[in-house]
Amino acid sequence: MSKVVLSLKNLATRYGQIYALKGISLDVCEGEIVTLLGSNGAGKSTTLKTISSLVPACSGKVEFYGKDITNAPPHDIVEMGIIHVPEGRRIFKELNVQENLEMGSFTLKDDAERKRRMDRALDLFPVLKERRKQMGGLLSGGEQQMLAIGRALMTNPKVLLLDEPSMGLAPIIVQGIMDIIKQINEQGTTILLVEQNAKAALKLAHRGYVLETGEIVMEGNADVLSKDDSIVKAYLGH
């Protein structure tokens, strides 16, 4: 059994009086891709935001390798190696591709290490290599998503929290991004993937959880979930 990297224990988060998470528990083990599925407003983004302390938990716990990191300052969480790639690919539109990537490692003093990480990101995303000097804002949606993931990789994360990387992209581009997420995982990064595109996510993930109005209603191996009738009906469009 591999080590649990990230563990949510009865985690609750609210916006004002409204509970977006009503006490959820889930584990992500070393080397896994775990996907969190659910429809609009289920609480998927809030889960990632609570892990990275962008919104405060009101009860329960977030543990990283067994250590309680609930509501730790966001920069400490980044420092520990938990990197959140938010929905909507917030890249720097006025900076070029290379500068955007460098922003992911601006605190790093070691230039050789920065170069090694840059080479790795550019090898994973050859399109970005070709467009190194192009402004971020001029990239296509898919390329901006790649850049957002590439920038996260520049921090050499232990865990990547990916919020809907497929959002708004054509199916062929989605497949390309999913293939790269798989490669990143095979190179040793643990991934928690939030997706509305359940089909693509379950193809890629080892395990999954289904969230409905702030509660986990189902969990299991991805191949089991992808054959489950209620999931097929609700999320796989049959």
43 binds ligand ATP (CB under 6 A): yes
Q: Which stretch binds ligand ATP (CB under 6 A): 44-52, 62-70, 93-101, 223-231?
A: 44-52
Residue 221 β-bridge partners: 207
Q: With CA atoms as reference, report the closest residue to 188 among 157, 163, 161.
A: 157
Taking the complex as a whole, the smallest distance from the CB of residue 204 to ligand ATP amounts, in Å, to 18
Among 3, 10, 41, 179, binds ligand ATP (CB under 6 A): 41
128 binds ligand ATP (CB under 6 A): no
- From 37-45, 61-69, 89-97, 179-187, span contacting ligand ATP (CB under 6 A): 37-45
- Strand pairing partners for 210? 37, 218
Among 20, 26, 124, 198, binds ligand ATP (CB under 6 A): 20
Residue 123: helix, strand or coil by DSSP? helix
Instruction: List beta partners, residue 194.
Output: 36, 163
DSSP letters for 35-65:
EEE--TTSSHHHHHHHHTTSS--SEEEEEET
Which of residues 125 and 235 has its CB atom nearest to ligand ATP in the complex?
Answer: 235
d(CA 61, CA 22): 12
Instruction: Kindly give, in sequence order, each residue whose CB lies less than 8 Å from that of residue 88, ignoring residues fewer than 6 positions away.
Output: 167
Instruction: Kindly state whether residue 168 participates in binding ligand ATP, applying the rule CB under 6 A.
Output: no
Judging by beta carbons within 10 Å of its beta carbon (0-12, 13-18, 19+), is residue 166 exposed, middle or buried?
buried
Instruction: Specify the amino acid at residue 238.
Output: H
Stretch that binds ligand ATP, among 33-41, 61-69, 90-98, 142-150 (CB under 6 A): 33-41
State in angstroms the smallest separation of the CB of 191 from ligand ATP.
17
Indicate which single residue of 11, 26, 37, 42 sits in contact with ligand ATP (rule: CB under 6 A). Answer: 42
Q: Which residues bind ligand ATP (CB under 6 A)?
A: 15, 20, 38, 40-46, 196
